[in-house]
Amino acid sequence: MGISNAMTPLLPLEFALVSSDYAAVTAISGGVRKYGAKSSLSPGAESARDSLRRRKLDGVFVDMEAPGALELITDIRKGTSNSKSVIFACVQNSKESTVTLSAGANFLLLKPLTAESIALHITIAKEMIEREHRRYFRHPLNLPVLLEDADGDQRARMANLSEGGIAVRATRALKHSSMIDFEFELPFGATVSGRGQVAWTNQEGMSGILIHSFHDKGREQLEAWLASREQLSSPPVVTETFS
């Protein structure tokens, strides 16, 4: 049984921009490009909600002058897809800081904005962004995995792996919401085992397992392996000196 361990480059970081202010959009999109990332624009809170429900993003820039901006930040934090995404709130004055941070913003950017200041703030937030990026990014892998639930144990094949979950193809169908123990060996790494819950199943025999806990040093070993994989596959970032 072969194991695929070819490197799979991580997707570029991706941000959402919520603003109809031309100057703000120009500065934010310019800063995102300087960082080598991608961005998508929503002119208002309603169109942004629809986009954020359908896509997982690394960060969201919210122009607080956009109607419904504060409620949008609150909704992002209460949602599922992007509740952990970094939120950059663009404010007109510092008086907005307390209520904006309380709603869930991570960073405040005072207008007028510049591409350089945007790129700098992304750099400052890099560790937070990449930590979440690693958690949800699915690495395609073809690995054997041992599963054990209330119906006994079975050998399955892993299709992809992230810090928070595993997708597997099992011979015997797994039951949705059931608790399950897992064990697998990382390519050129240690054995990782733990306990999770079946989060989804489909008619093709695939199931998604949400990891709840690890045994021994499983979490540290998986995090280290994912971090090394990301480091080796990430493109270089162009840095600039900011005055």
How is residue 66 written in tokens? Answer: 């956009």
Does 241 fall in a domain? no
Average pLDDT, the chain: 87
Residues 109 and 215 in one domain: no
167-226 pLDDT, tens digit each: 999 999 999 999 999 999 998 778 999 999 998 898 888 999 999 999 999 999 998 888
pLDDT at residue 243, as a whole number: 32
Task: Provide CB contacts within 8 A for 19, sequence distance 6+.
Answer: 25, 28, 41, 43, 61, 62, 63, 65, 66, 90
Residues 157 and 183 in one domain: yes
Does residue 227 register a pLDDT over 90? no
On whether the pTM is more than 0.85, the answer is no
| Structural domain ending residue among the three candidates 111, 135, 159 | 135
Residues 83 and 155 in one domain: no
Question: What is the number of structural domains in the chain?
Answer: 2
Residues 129 and 194 in one domain: no
Does 8 fall in a domain? no
Residue 18 and residue 22: Cα distance in Å, rounded?
A: 11
Assign residue 150 the CATH number of its domain.
2.40.10.220
- Helices 69-78 + 45-54 axis angle, to 10: 20
Q: What is the DSSP letter of 4?
A: B
Element (H, E) at 195: strand 191-201
Residues 128 and 166 in one domain: no
Task: Provide CB contacts within 8 A for 62, sequence distance 6+.
Answer: 18, 19, 48, 69, 72, 73, 87, 88, 89, 90, 105
Residues 102 and 149 in one domain: no
53-79 pLDDT, tens digit each: 878 889 999 999 999 999 999 999 998
Task: Provide CB contacts within 8 A for 138, sequence distance 6+.
Answer: 160, 161, 162, 167
* Residue 11: band (very low, low, confident or very high) from pLDDT cuts 50, 70, 90: low
Residue 97 and residue 95: Cα distance in Å, rounded?
A: 6
Task: Provide CB contacts within 8 A for 22, sequence distance 6+.
Answer: none
How is residue 161 written in tokens? Answer: 């792996």
pLDDT at residue 233, as a whole number: 55
- Helices 126-136 + 115-124 axis angle, to 10: 60
Assign residue 60 the CATH number of its domain.
3.40.50.2300
Residue 58 and residue 38: Cα distance in Å, rounded?
A: 10
Residues 179 and 125 in one domain: no
Choice among 41-45, 94-98, 129-133, 236-240 with the minimum mean pLDDT: 236-240
Domain that holds residue 42: 14-135
| Structural domain ending residue among the three candidates 135, 159, 194 | 135
More confident residue, 242 or 110: 110
